[in-house]
Structure 1
Amino acid sequence: MAGYLTTHVLDTARGCPAQGLKIVLYRVADNSRHKLAEVVTNADGRTDSPILPQSDFRTGTYELVFCAGDYLRETNQANEDPLFLDEVPIRFGMSDAEAHYHVPLLLSPFGYSTYRGS
């Protein structure tokens, strides 16, 4: 089985999934980014399918950019200019061609955390 990539965004300030948050996936190589996908989270804070499906999976360095500022404005959690958090980039490596990589984001208006999930 080939590897694949999923993500999940939880709004820790409101205690619920972050619905409607735009995420952009890039492959990083030779100091440049190549856009692979752009998705929006569903009611569960997940994407409807893997953000990088098995058919497109390759090992390497990737970056997920979470458009947190738009989401925080839309949910009336932030309105200052500039926002403390706007775009949240997470750069990570995937070295196992057979693995499921899961990169969740726990988000609030003034902080975030991530980890390799399952």
Structure 2
Amino acid sequence: MRPAISGASVPIATYELRFHIGDYFRRAGLELPVPAFLNVVPLRFGVAEPEGRYHVPLVAGPWSYQTDRGS
């Protein structure tokens, strides 16, 4: 996987990533209810160090998800 942003500092701000996990699991062949229990997971995080390295992992299944700052 390649970085979403590289080669420049990221401004101090709050950001949001949207993970379309309902679509992802349907394409993988899972039958999900309509609407899916989890369809789009918004993940909001703050960047306090513009030159810092941010890794924002999402571990997801059709019924749950978790995240952390990563390393």
What is the TM-score when the length of structure 1 is the normalising length?
Answer: 0.56
**Does the Cα contact within 8 Å between 1:78 and 1:109 map onto a contact in 2?**
no
Whole-Å Cα distance in 1 between the matches of residues 6 and 33 of structure 2?
Answer: 37
Q: CA deviation at 1:78?
A: 3.5
**Does the Cα contact within 8 Å between 2:10 and 2:51 map onto a contact in 1?**
no
Structure 1 runs (4+) deviating above 4 angstroms are none
Identity, in percent, stands at 42
Identify unmatched segments of 5+ residues in structure 1: 1-46
Q: Which moved more, 1:76-85 or 1:62-71?
A: 76-85
Matched, 1:111 2:64: yes
Identify unmatched segments of 5+ residues in structure 2: none
- 1:74 alignment counterpart: 27
Amino acid at match of 1:114: T
* 1:36-72, Cα deviation, whole Å (9 max, x unpaired): xxxxxxxxxxx3x211223262121000000111101
- 2:16 alignment counterpart: 63
Whole-Å Cα distance in 1 between the matches of residues 23 and 64 of structure 2?
Answer: 15
Q: CA deviation at 1:92?
A: 0.7
Give the aligned length.
Answer: 71
Kindly report the root-mean-square deviation, in angstroms, between the aligned alpha carbons of the 2 structures.
1.3
The SS at the match of 1:65 is strand
